[in-house]
């Protein structure tokens, strides 16, 4: 029968082995996710209802231009938390970018039903879902 001290040492070694395996798995998962993204690619973020164009990838972070119905901004996300991104074409992103710019510059936008963004965004969602 093993002594208490031997069991504690055995447990400690198993914990270390578990941590090492976890770190290796995490590194491989990050490598796999990183290989799916390239600078210049564009995406529809189905969870946030916005459009994304990747401008930089550094370490575990993706930096991108983010478009939504009323703004254009630069944001970043950790690779581990990216979910629901569907690839779109650069032309679709460009059309959405121009639509947002047009909407931002239109002082009477609130007076009309719909916007340039809505038209372009809906066509992108339709093309991605088909």
The model's pLDDT over 16-37, given as tens digits with 9 standing for 90+, comes to 999 999 999 988 887 888 888 9
Q: Are 51 and 96 in contact (CB under 8 A)?
A: yes
d(Cα 66, Cα 31) in Å, to the nearest integer?
Answer: 24
**Strand duo 42-45 + 50-58: pairing:** antiparallel
Structural tokens at position 115: 């916007």
Mean pLDDT, residues 108-114:
61
- Give the SS3 label for residue 108: coil
According to the model, what pLDDT value does residue 11 have? 94
Q: Are 125 and 44 in contact (CB under 8 A)?
A: yes
d(Cα 130, Cα 50) in Å, to the nearest integer?
Answer: 18
Q: Are 73 and 48 in contact (CB under 8 A)?
A: no
pLDDT band of 113, cuts 50, 70, 90: low
Q: Give the global pTM.
A: 0.74
Mean pLDDT, residues 40-56:
95
Mean pLDDT, residues 73-87:
92
């Amino acid at each position: 029968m093993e002594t208490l001290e031997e069991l504690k040492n055995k447990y400690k070694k198993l914990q270390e082995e578990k941590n090492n395996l976890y770190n290796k798995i995490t590194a491989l998962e990050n490598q796999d996710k990183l290989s799916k993204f390239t600078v210049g690619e564009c995406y529809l973020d189905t969870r946030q209802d916005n459009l994304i164009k990747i401008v930089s990838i550094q370490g575990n972070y993706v930096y991108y231009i983010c478009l939504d119905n009323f703004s254009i901004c630069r944001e970043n996300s950790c690779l581990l938390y990216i979910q629901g991104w569907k690839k779109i074409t650069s032309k679709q992103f460009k059309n959405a970018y121009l639509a947002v710019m047009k909407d931002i510059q239109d002082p009477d936008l609130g007076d009309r039903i719909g916007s340039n963004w809505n038209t372009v965004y809906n066509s992108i969602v339709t093309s991605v879902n088909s």
